Structure 1
Amino acid sequence: MKKTNLTKDNRRSGFTLIEMLIAMGLFGVVSAISAGGFIQAFRTQRQTAAMYAANDAVAFAIEQMTREIRTGTNFSIPAVGQIIFKNDSGQDIAYCFDAVNKYLARSSSGDCASAVRLTGTSVRVNSVDYDFAAQAAGFPMRVVIRMSVSPTGDPAIANSSFKLQTTVSPRNL
């Protein structure tokens, strides 16, 4: 059996218990901080994706509305969140805001009771307002559409919303 000779050099190699505890503590703190940053980055990415989905859903609705308004005539705003007009085919078109269920709907009979949902379920329409912009002499009438929308599904962004506004100038053919 061989005896181990403990010399001064052999005792100094390695780490002491206190050095190991300090190193592990620092590693834990750095890991916790970086994990928090990654979690926040993933949460922000999810919120951004929900906002983009809501924007896409509303963009489709606004595009359809502006296309029909551009070729329409005989515009009226009978109530808040409603606009009724005749399209280029002579149909009475109504765009209606359902304030209870929070969506935008379209009717080809001019009656909001028979309106079909226009916005998808990925978006909640908080408010819709139609207005006729002031006309200067020699300029055509303009319809202003204002909308406040928020994404649905993610409770982290349930209270965030964004506002859209567009102005449409109907053609006088």
Structure 2
Amino acid sequence: MTFNNKKLICRSTLTGFTLIEMLVALAIFSIVVTVMLSVTISLVKAQRKTQNLQLVHDSARYSIEMMAKEIRMSKIIDVRVVGGPHFIYELTIQRLDDPGNNIVYHFYNDSASKPGILARDRGADTRYLNDITKVDIRGYFYPLSGTPGKRLTIVLRAESVGARAGEGAIIDLQTTVTSRSYE
């Protein structure tokens, strides 16, 4: 038997990765990337929901605080619901320091107009209190006996407009205000 002068090549001395090792590494890498991507997406959604909640909270708080401040320093003239195709809640007050001009708060509860419009009319001066938030005045409540016109409870619901599904925010606020008008 004659042997050629060829060296036998041992496979254990070769360096590199096998196909199985590459597939395992690729699978682990894709799992890690998928987990990181899902965490990033959920963090972005949570940040948007928090931002919408803050905007709704600020808008609703501004609306209710402005109304409460003016009611506190005013005499309540009239609280009513005007019927028709669209319900309109109206609150008419008269400031103690400016008795000549009445202030009327209107809430137009029109399902077609989104957001709902909460307007403050003072003669020619009309201000809209909300723009990015749908405000729903649930009602004005005041006592029918005792001291009518002195105490008023405002119930308000605000929700974000134009938010993506699952990122919207809703907040309910209620406050009771007593007028400082002593007549």
Given the two structures, how large is their TM-score scaled by the length of structure 1?
Answer: 0.79
C-alpha distance in 1 between matches for 2:53 and 2:145: 35
C-alpha distance in 2 between matches for 1:8 and 1:125: 76
1:119 aligns with 2:117: no
Q: Unmatched 5+ residue regions in structure 1?
A: none
Match of 1:83 in 2: 91
1:108 aligns with 2:122: yes
Q: 1:22 to 1:136 in 2, by over 3 A?
A: farther
Q: Unmatched 5+ residue regions in structure 2?
A: 1-5, 82-87
C-alpha distance in 1 between matches for 2:144 and 2:35: 56
C-alpha distance in 2 between matches for 1:145 and 1:4: 96
Match of 1:45 in 2: 47
2:108/2:117 contact within 8 Å kept: yes
C-alpha distance in 2 between matches for 1:37 and 1:158: 16
Larger deviation, residues 159-168 vs 25-34 = 159-168
C-alpha distance in 2 between matches for 1:126 and 1:4: 89
- Code of the aligned partner of 1:144: T
Give the superposition deviation at 1:167. Answer: 1.2
Q: 1:96 to 1:128 in 2, by over 3 A?
A: farther
- Identical pairs, percent: 26
The two structures, once aligned, show a CA RMSD in angstroms of: 2.8
Given the two structures, how large is their TM-score scaled by the length of structure 2?
Answer: 0.75
Structure that is richer in strand per residue: 2
Q: Deviations over 1:55-106 (max 9, x none)?
A: 2122222221111100111442121632112111112221110112312111
1:122/1:152 contact within 8 Å kept: yes
Structure that is richer in helix per residue: 1
1:76/1:85 contact within 8 Å kept: yes
State which of 149, 154, 163 in structure 2 corresponds to 1:145: 154
Q: Deviations over 1:124-143 (max 9, x none)?
A: 11334111157778xx9321
**Greater RCO (Cα-Cα under 8 Å, separation 6 or more):** 2
1:123/1:150 contact within 8 Å kept: yes
Match of 2:35 in 1: 33
- Code of the aligned partner of 1:96: H
Partner SS state of residue 107, structure 1: strand
